[in-house]
Amino acid sequence: EEMWKEMTARLKQRGAVSRNPGSSEYLQMAMDTGLIHGESVLLIDLSTCTRCDECVRGCSDAHEGIPRFIREGQKYRNWLVPTACYQCSDPVCMMECPTGAITRDVGTLEVTINEPTCIGCNNCAQRCPWSNIQMMETGEIRPDGKPVEIASKCDLCLTRPEGPACVQMCPHGSAVRISFKDMDRVIATLK
């Protein structure tokens, strides 16, 4: 019965694509760019964005003065995909973290970094295929004279009841977060 439901759903999807061939363009773009892995991808509509940086300021205010994304990245039509964690469905950044500092609680979207546990080994930043994890200096100096660094990435403003500051603080409604698992919403947003 489970297989029958899955087969029926796939046939319906194939039929929808054949009736609306343009919709497969979005799926292809999501696969080509890796966005298909994203559970919560930040997108900025460049046709309405005034580059006021309120999204970056909001993020910075929510994270003790250090923004967790960069308002630069790949573009698709009039949409910008900033350098911000996609909260991947299968986060490869979590692999090989020697201290277990990068985790996702069961049933949640947020992939988080426990800063006190992070030793700054850079494994997660190197493993992220989209370079959405940055190493950030803590202001401390190691015995060898080099600065102490820890990993930093978007955590969807986990501690804010209002949700991600980047989306909430955009005065033009240009910033949105979508899951590329929901292709109906992706198509409606990107059209």
**How far is Cα 154 from Cα 168, in angstroms, rounded to an integer?**
15
Chain-centroid distance of CA 59 in Å reads: 14
**Axis crossing angle, helix 23-33 with helix 2-19, rounded to the nearest 10:** 110
Q: What is the pLDDT of residue 172?
A: 96
Res 169: pLDDT: 96
Q: Please state whether 148 falls in left (phi above 0), alpha (psi between -120 and 50) or beta.
A: beta
Do β-strands 111-113 and 102-104 pair in parallel, antiparallel, or remain unpaired? antiparallel
**Average pLDDT taken over every residue of the chain:** 90
99, 117 Cβ separation under 8 angstroms: yes
Backbone angles phi, psi at 132, to 5 degrees: -95, 5
Model pLDDT for residues 71-100, shown as the tens digit of each residue = 999 999 999 999 999 999 999 999 889 999
**pLDDT of residue 19 exceeding 60:** yes
- The per-residue pLDDT for range 146-183, each reduced to its tens digit, is 999 999 999 999 989 999 999 999 999 999 999 988 88
